A = this chain, B = another copy of it.
């Protein structure tokens, strides 16, 4: 059986070839895996963005989930946090607990993780591996904890607090796909949204200076926009019909289900952001440049931090809660 140290060496020392040549000068890692800590050289004039996410088997992913997709998703949800800050992701640490050494699993997991890392020039700089624990004779379940570090020019980060009266509310891509995969398994497109989300890293970086506030859709559009409103001390009115959704979500006949997926479905990892009306032309150009739909769905209002969603006839719709990890 391999020792912990063999494992670390074999699977987690990222091959240099996996990082795009253009990124090497930007990496500035003087020491990676294999010492007590990684050593980085942050760039002058940049702030460091740091975020951490814990993924648990049986809660955030099902037992037996595809290891390669899991490696992708574990990094993707963290990249999405960088996107929401307008930060360029640079480095990540990975802590992993496994019931047993499973080399096939590790090979697939790291394949998914490193393929996404390479696309965004992210280097795995350290981590921790251990055998999963469980009470009694049952095998422990898989635990994945990724911490991501990114850089953003000082003063240009995107915050939740920042939405101003009269700003437009925008959302990227399409909503509800990931939740559809849970509600009605069978759609390959929806499954892909759930299992292999595409973090909007480039959009986040390009929104610096254009968006007034931003967040990523992890708990559902309504709840995540709600965080912007709460932090900004403003309300918003959104037109339900303008919310972007994929063909398979549109096809759902049950209107209540469709509304729930679009408004409250989590795990889409799109960006919701606000921007001054003066930036509409730039944002349209950006959408075209990135080949990514950017939908203008409402506007920021004065008053209490409340979201109103209007249906096609202008009537307020009920807005349920998003995903709360400790809700009853």
Asked if residues A328 and B1 are in contact (CB atoms below 8 Å), the reply is yes
Asked if residues B147 and A147 are in contact (CB atoms below 8 Å), the reply is yes
Contact partner, A135, options B58, B101, B160, Cβ 8 Å: B58
What's the Cα separation between A52 and B87 when bound, in Å?
Answer: 21
What's the Cα separation between A161 and B39 when bound, in Å?
Answer: 14
| A14 in contact (CB, < 8 A) | no
Asked if residues B134 and A39 are in contact (CB atoms below 8 Å), the reply is no
| A247 in contact (CB, < 8 A) | no
Q: How far is the CB of A124 from chain B (nearest CB, A)?
A: 11
What's the Cα separation between A130 and B49 when bound, in Å?
Answer: 22
Q: Which of A180-188, A275-283, A319-327 contacts B (4 or more CB under 8 A)?
A: A319-327
What's the Cα separation between A145 and B56 when bound, in Å?
Answer: 12
| A253 in contact (CB, < 8 A) | no
| A114 in contact (CB, < 8 A) | no
Q: Name which of A37, A82, A152 has the most chain B CB atoms within 10 A of its CB.
A: A37
| Chain B residues, Cβ within 8 Å of A36 | 51, 81-82, 84-85, 160, 214-216
Interface string of A51-78 (1 = CB under 8 A from B): 1111011111001000000000000000
Q: How far is the CB of A14 from chain B (nearest CB, A)?
A: 15
Q: How far is the CB of A139 from chain B (nearest CB, A)?
A: 8
| Chain B residues, Cβ within 8 Å of A4 | 324-327
Give 9 A-B contacts (CB < 8 Å), ordered by A residue: A1-B328, A36-B216, A41-B48, A52-B93, A52-B127, A54-B143, A56-B140, A130-B326, A138-B138
